[in-house]
Chain A
Amino acid sequence: MLGKLIKYDIKSLNRFLIIIHGVLLLSAVLIRIFFTEKITAESLLESETGSAIPFMLVMTIILYSLLVTCISFATGLIITVRFYKNLFSDEGYLSQTLPVTRGQHLLSKTISGGIWSCIDTFLVFLSLYIVLATPDITGLFRQYAPEIQAELGFTGSYQMSFAVITAVFLLSSFIGAISNVIMYYTSVILGQLFSGHRVVGAVAAYFAITGVLAILSSAVMLISGIFPMMTGDGIMSISPAGYMKNMILFTTILSIVSGAGLYALSYWVMNKKLNLV
């Protein structure tokens, strides 16, 4: 039954998400063809003498960043709306009377939403790669890779290839993405506990959860000294690589712990407290 639920959830998410991510990739390809591909070291030098490229480039970067932000936001919204609509609107009268447990509903939605959230993360990285990785830039990068690595502090015990760095970064982003989906769902479920304005309740619950998590994580970071500000003498005590490693480790652990905690809370509330009114 879980497999069937996931099948229908993914199918329903596909409708909008394939389209908007198609737009994301298409715009990345267009920006590559019409802008970044044309940027060479020479063209940048020329532009200092008054060509229009920098202005157009700045505008494109701004619009592109806006697009990426909107698409990621829309992805979260679509996943959350599907969760709410399928389980707690009129459609819930069908979904919740199917011969499956509420726990299976939650798991199915977490898997389907989690998969799409990871796809979204991956495609955002891919579109960035499409936009930025022109032959000129990758060529320059390859030429100076050891120096860049050394400058960022990926030396000694941090010595690793960029492929590994990318993989770690992606993995941590995926965990964060799934944890976010769980946070959206928990907000919707807590919103259902309000007798009246349940959507407003969900939004309030979301801000409450993110607020609590922000305070907790800052507290932990300050106490554990992951914050480089703790050095006191104004000099960063750790290299960018060391800082990055700490941050990734910390946010990933936070994502896993908060995701697991919120999932357990959602499961409990769904089974013990929820009425479809």
Chain B
Amino acid sequence: MKPILECRELSKKYNNISYALNSLNLTLERGQIVGLLGPNGSGKTTLIKLINGLLIPTGGEVLIDGMAPGVKTKKIVSYLPERTYLDESMKVKDIISYFADFYDDFVTERAYQMLRDLEIRAEVRLRTLSKGTKEKLQLILVMSRDASLYVLDEPIGGVDPAARDYILRTILTNYNEDAAILLSTHLIHDIENILDRVVFIRQGQLALNATVDEIRMEQGKSIDSLFREVFRC
């Protein structure tokens, strides 16, 4: 089986000035939850956008299940951006049928179950929802797909701790051995326990790629303290 994500010498430059990503090489296998960690401006979101075909690489290539970003990869990648991407004039139930319409792997029943758990009503318009509720809804939409790669950019940044726990549990229960989850966050401490592997990037380059067990055993540190050490300002 091909690796679910492969970056070969992947580079991205904005406005011909500085590299947001600089010759990044990275291979991720299925069946793991990977934390993509790095300080602000290190290139995390750039990498995520390249995976989703929102940016065109300046150099190198990114492959998802052996394919360059396109219709086929978009069918198997479930992406949560760091911003609200919903059309505010829609109702919750409209956006659910929108996802069901476009994504063959979308499980409507699962989405409605999560809506009930988080007490979001299907009849309301999106513009009446609070920012945190919109974020929860987006995560519900993304996790209701049976994708091969989930790419979550700051999935828990704006939600309260109780919902955060629910979301983390959702991520754990919904994903299977054939899938991988790549998630970027600053809230390392909260998410540390669910990660199998961490990837540190600094100034657009790979700084570390190791399993959480390796780090704990060999360095005797938590990811949080290792991050603080590696990226000390």
Interface string of B70-86 (1 = CB under 8 A from A): 11101101010101111
Interface centre among B52, B85, B98, B101, by most chain A C-beta atoms within 10 angstroms, is B85
A8 proximal to B (CB < 8 A)? yes
Q: Is the CB of A101 within 8 A of B54?
A: no
Q: How many whole Å from A116's CB to the nearest CB in chain B?
A: 17
Any A CB within 8 A of the CB of B56? yes
Question: Could you say which residues of chain B place their CB within 8 Å of the CB of A97?
Answer: 52-54, 74, 77, 79
* A98 is an interface residue with CB less than 8 A from chain B: yes
Residues 231-277 of A at the B interface (beta carbon under 8 Å): 272-277
Q: Is the CB of A93 within 8 A of B83?
A: yes
Min CB distance, B42 to chain A, in Å? Answer: 17
Residue ID in chain B nearest A8 by CB atoms: B98
Q: What residues of chain B lie closer than 8 Å to A275, measured between beta carbons?
A: 14, 54-56
> Which A residues touch B54, using CB under 8 A?
92-93, 96-97, 275-276
Given contacts A4-B101, A97-B52, contact A277 B14 (CB under 8 A): yes
Q: How far is the CB of A28 from chain B (nearest CB, A)?
A: 28
Given A93-B83, A99-B75: A15 and B53 within 8 A (CB)?
A: no
How many angstroms between the C-alpha atoms of A218 and B88 in the bound complex? 45
Contact A99 B71 (CB under 8 A): yes
Q: A100-B71, A101-B70, A195-B15 are in contact. Are A91 and B55 (CB under 8 A)?
A: no
Q: Using a CB-CB cutoff of 8 Å, which residues 111-170 of chain B contact chain A?
A: none
CA distance A78 to B84 in the complex (A): 22
Chain A binding surface, main DSSP class? loop
Could you tell me the dominant secondary structure of chain B's interface residues?
Answer: loop
* B102 adjacent to A98 (CB under 8 Å): yes
Interface string of B21-53 (1 = CB under 8 A from A): 000000000000000000000000000010011
Give the nearest-CB partner of A95 in chain B: B85
Complex Cα gap A99–B145 (Å)? 13
Is B71 a contact of A90 with CB atoms below 8 Å?
Answer: no
A41 within 8 A of B: no
Task: Find B102's partner among A90, A96, A99 (CB 8 Å cutoff).
Answer: A99
For A196, the closest partner residue in chain B by CB is B15
Chain A proximity of B221: nearest CB distance (Å):
35
Nearest residue in A to B153 (C-beta to C-beta)? A93
Contacts of A12 in B (CB 8 A): 87, 89
A212 adjacent to chain B (CB < 8 Å): no
| Bound Cα distance from A79 to B29, whole angstroms | 44
- Interface check B103, CB cutoff 8 A: yes
Residues of A close to B86: CB separation below 8 A: 91, 94
CA A4 to CA B103, docked complex, whole Å: 11
Once bound together, how far apart are the Cα atoms of A48 and B14, in whole Å?
Answer: 70
A91 touches B102 (CB 8 A): no
- Residues of A contacting B101 with CB < 8 Å? 4
- Rounded to whole Å, the gap between the CB of A7 and the closest CB of chain B is 8
Complex interface residues of chain A between 94 and 124 (CB less than 8 A to chain B): 94, 96-101
CB distance from B92 to the nearest CB of A (A): 15
Contact A273 B87 (CB under 8 A): no
Nearest residue (CB) in B for A104 is B71
Does A1 sit at the interface, judged by CB under 8 A?
yes
Residue of chain B at shortest CB distance from A89 = B85
Contact of A90 among B14, B70, B84 (CB under 8 A): B84
Give the distance to chain A from B141, nearest Cβ to Cβ, in Å. 9
Q: Tell whether A90 pairs with B83 under 8 Å between CB atoms, given A98-B74, A101-B70.
A: yes
Residues of A within 8 A of B56 (CB): 272-275
A96 to B81, CA, bound (A): 12
15 contacts between A and B (CB under 8 A): A4-B102, A12-B89, A91-B87, A93-B83, A94-B86, A96-B54, A97-B53, A100-B71, A195-B14, A195-B15, A275-B14, A275-B54, A275-B55, A276-B49, A276-B55
Task: Given contact pairs A15-B89, A90-B85, enumerate 10 new A-B contacts (beta carbons under 8 Å).
Answer: A4-B102, A8-B98, A92-B54, A96-B53, A97-B54, A98-B103, A99-B72, A100-B74, A275-B56, A277-B14
Using a CB–CB cutoff of 8 Å, the interface residues on chain A facing chain B are 1, 4, 8, 12, 15, 86, 90-94, 96-101, 195, 272-277
The 6 closest A-B pairs by CB, nearest first: A93-B85, A276-B54, A94-B85, A99-B74, A93-B81, A99-B75
